[in-house]
Structure 1
Amino acid sequence: MKNSDFRVDSVGGIATLTLMVALGQMAVGLFVPSLPSLVSYFDTDMGTVQLTLTVHFTAFALFQLLAGPLSDRFGRRPVILTGLAIYACGAIACALAESISALIGARILLAIGACSGHAVSRAVIRDRSEGADSARIMSYIGMAMALSPALTPTIGGQLQGHFGWQACFVLMACISGVLFLYSFFFLPETIRTRNADAMKFGGMLATYGRLMIDRRFFGYAALNGCIFGALFAYQTGSPYLLMVELGYSPQAYGLLILFNVAGFLSGNLITNRFGRRVGIYGMVRAGSILTFVAGIAMVVPTELGHVSALSIIGPSMLLLFAMGITLPSAMAGAMQHFPEVAGAASALLGFLQMGTGALGSFMISSLQNQHPHVMPDVFAVSGVLALVALAFIPKPGAGRD
C-alpha cells in the first residue's frame, strides 16, 4: 500500500488505529475480573494484587513521553511495529509468571508495548486530518478507549471462569500478533517530515514545556486526565466492592460492566449527532459537568452507608456517558494546534491521561486494605477536578475552539 493511498477515515485505517488504542485498555479490562483469584493463587493480599494495575498505568504513562518523540524522529511505523512486538512478548511473560513479583514485572513490559500504539495512533490521525474531521475520527478512538475497559471485563470474566487468569494474556498475545502482521503489510508511514531534533533531551523538555503552558492543550488534557483518574480508580476498586464485598462472581461482574458500555455508547452517539453543531468547547463543558455529577452520585450513598451494585454501576455508567461526550472533542482540542510536534503532543496527552489514571489506581491499591470504600472518594475528587480543568480551557470567544 502506498503512503498516499492510506486514509485514516477508511474502515481499515479506523479499525487498525482503534485496535492499537484498545490494546492498552485491553491489558487492564481483560485482567480485572481475575484480581480476586490472584490473592489465593499467589498467597498475597488484595493491595499487592492491585499493584499489577498501578505499575501498568505508571509505566504506560511514563513511556508515552518517549514513544511520541521517537515517532517524530524515526517515523510512526517503526515505533508502532516495535511496540506491538513488545506487547506480545509482555503478554506471554505475564501468562508464564510464577510469582506476583514476576507478574508485576511482566505487566511493565506489557505497558511499554501498549503505550507505543496508543500514543502514535493519535499522531497518525493528526498527520492525515484536521479540525472537525479529526474530532470525528477521534470519536472512534475515544470509543476504543472507553469501550475496551467497559466491554473487555465481560470477556475477561468468562475467560477467568472457564480457563483461569492466564487465558486473558494468551488472548492479548494472539490479538497483538495478528495486529502486528496486518500493520507490517498494510500500515504505511504517515509522517511528512521527520524531526531530527525530536530526541534531544533539551528539545524534548522545551516542547513539553511549551505544551504544558498552553491553556488550550493543558485544559483539554487535564480534563481527560480527571475522567481517566475516576475510570481507573473504578477499574482498580470495583472488583473488591462487587466481587469480594457484595459477592458477585467474575462472570456476573463482567455482565454488570455492560451497563457502562451502554453509558458510553449513548454519549458517543450524542457526540456523533451533535458534536459539529455544539462545538468542541460545548461538548467538553457538558462532559465535565456530568463527570462532577457522577462523582457526587458515587460518594453520597457510600457516605450514608449504602453500598450496592446500583450505587456503584449507576455513577460509573454516568461517567462513561460523560466520557463518550468529552473524550473525542478533548483529544481533538488538545492536538489541533500543534501539527509540527504531533507525536510529542499525543505522547504528553497520553501521559497526563494515564498519569492521573495511575494516581487514582495507586490511591486505591495503597489504601484499599485500610479503607475499603476509598474508591467512591477518588471518584468524587476526580469530578471536582474536572470542573477545575474546564476553567483552564479558553471559551470560544476568548480563544480558538
Structure 2
Amino acid sequence: MSAVIENYYLLFSNRQFLLFAGNLGLHVSIFFSFLNFLPFAFRELGYTAAEFGMHISLLPAGFVIGNLISRKWTATLGIIKMVRWGSILTVFAISVMAIVAFSGVQSGLALVLPAMIYSLSNGLTMPNASIGAINSVKRSAQGVGSGLAGSLQMLLGSLIASSTILLGAANDVRIGIGVVLGAALVALVAALLLRDDARLAVN
C-alpha cells in the first residue's frame, strides 16, 4: 500500500506527466462535448437522427487519418512536437467552427467538417500524449501512471462535456463551441509547457 501511495505522490508531483495527462484529458473532453451538444444543434437545423449519424461518422474517419499520419511522422518529429502540432490544429479547427457558428451559417457540414479536422488532430495528440505520460515517469510507476492518465481522461471528459449542457449548449451551439475552444486553448498551453526529454525519443 505504501508503494502505491508513493507512486501516486510521484505522479502528482511530476510536472511532465500532469501536462501530458492534462492535454490528453482535454482533447478527450472535446470529443465527449461534441457528442453531447451536436445532436441538439442538428435537431435545431432540421436533420433527422439518421442524418446526424451519417455526418458524425466523419469524426472517426478523421481520427483514423490522424493516426496514420502519427504513425508516419512521430519517429521523425518526436512525441512532443506531435502533441504540439496536434494541439495547434485542434485550436485552429474549433476556431473555424466558432467563426462559422457565430456568423450564423446554418449547415450541418459547416459544424462537422471542422470537427473532423479536430478528430484528425486527436489522432496526432492522443497516442503521443499517452506514450509521453507513461514514459515521463520511472518504470515502477508506469502501470499506476497509465491508470491515472486514463482516469483523468474520463474525469475531464465527463466534467467538461456535462458543463456544455449545464451552460445551455442544448439551446445554443455557440455556448458548447465556446467551452470546447477554451478546453483546446488550455490543452495547447499544456503542450507548449512540455519540456524536451530524452526518455521520450522514438526509435
TM-score, normalization by structure 1: 0.47
Distance change in 2, residues 1:391/1:369 (3 Å):
closer
2 CA distance for matches of 1:264 and 1:285?
16
Contact persistence 1:216–1:334 (CA under 8 A): yes
- Counterpart of 2:57 (choices 258, 268, 283) is 258
Return the alpha-carbon distance in structure 2 between the equivalents of residues 338 and 298 of structure 1: 40
User: Aligned-pair RMSD on alpha carbons?
Assistant: 1.9
Change (3 A) 1:385 1:321: same
Given that 2:60 and 2:119 are in contact with CA atoms closer than 8 Å, whether structure 1 keeps it comes out as yes
Q: CA separation in 2, counterparts of 1:342 and 1:255?
A: 39
Offset, 1:306:
2.3
Matched residue, 2:44: 245
For 2:6 and 2:114, how far apart are their aligned partners in 1?
40
Of 85, 90, 114, which residue of structure 2 is paired with 1:315?
114
Residue 327 of structure 1 deviates from its aligned partner by 1.0
**Which of 15, 30, 35 is the matching residue for 1:215?**
15
Show the counterpart of 2:196. Answer: 395
The DSSP-based 3-state class of the residue aligned with 1:286 is helix
The residue type equivalent to 2:120 in the other structure is F
Q: Partners of 1:370 and 1:262 in 2: how far apart?
A: 25
Partner of 1:231: 31
Change (3 A) 1:208 1:249: same
In the aligned structure 2, how far is the partner of 1:359 from the partner of 1:392? 23
- The residue aligned with 2:183 is 382
Contact 2:37 2:169 in 1 (8 A): no
Is this contact kept in 2: 1:295–1:381, CA < 8 A? no
Give the C-alpha shift of residue 394 in structure 1: 0.8
- 1:370–1:279 Cα change, 3 Å: closer
Corresponding letter in the other structure for 2:82:
M
- If you compute each CA radius of gyration, which structure gives the higher value, 1 or 2? 1
For residues 48 and 145 of structure 2, the distance between their equivalents in structure 1, rounded to whole angstroms, comes to 41
Deviations 1:2-30 (A, max 9, x none): xxxxxxxxxxxxxxxxxxxxxxxxxxxxx
The match for 1:275 is 74
Q: Secondary structure at the match of 1:395?
A: coil
The alignment partner of 1:306 has SS state of coil
| C-alpha distance in 2 between matches for 1:368 and 1:307 | 19
Which sections of structure 1, spanning at least 5 residues, go unmatched? 1-196
Distance 1:285 1:231 in 2: 18
Structure 1 residue 208: deviation in Å? 2.3
Shift of 1:390: 0.9
Percentage of identical aligned residues: 30
CA distance in 1, matches of 2:25, 2:169: 25
The runs of at least 4 aligned residues of structure 1 exceeding 6 Å deviation read: none
Normalised by the size of structure 2, how large is the TM-score?
A: 0.88
**What does residue 324 of structure 1 align with?**
123
CA displacement 1:46-73 (0-9 Å, x = unmatched): xxxxxxxxxxxxxxxxxxxxxxxxxxxx
- CA deviation vs aligned residue, 1:182-240 (integer Å, no higher than 9, x gap): xxxxxxxxxxxxxxx2xx6xx54543232122122111111111111211110100111
* Letter paired with 2:113: G
8 Å contact from structure 1 (residues 226, 356) kept in 2? yes
2:92 maps to 1:288: no
Residue 257 to residue 371, structure 1, CA distance change in 2 (3 Å): closer
For the Cα contact (< 8 Å) 1:225–1:356, is it kept in 2? yes
Distance, in Å, in 1 between the alignment partners of 2:65 and 2:107 is 24
Contact 1:232 1:357 in 2 (8 A): yes
Take 1:275 and 1:340, find their aligned partners in 2: how far apart are those partners?
Answer: 25
Measured in 1, the distance between the counterparts of 2:166 and 2:67 equals 33
Tell me, yes or no, if structure 1 residue 348 matches structure 2 residue 148. yes
| Structure 2 CA distance for aligned equivalents of residues 341 and 213 of structure 1 | 12
Per-residue deviation at 1:303? Answer: 2.0
Q: 1:79-119, CA deviations, whole angstroms, 9 ceiling, x for partnerless residues? A: xxxxxxxxxxxxxxxxxxxxxxxxxxxxxxxxxxxxxxxxx
Q: Deviations over 1:143-181 (max 9, x none)?
A: xxxxxxxxxxxxxxxxxxxxxxxxxxxxxxxxxxxxxxx
Partner Cα separation in structure 2 for residue 205 and residue 304 of structure 1: 51
**Displacement, 1:278?**
1.4
Runs of 5+ consecutive residues of structure 2 not aligned to the other structure: none
CA–CA distance in 2 between the matches of 1:276 and 1:326? 14
What is aligned with 1:98? none
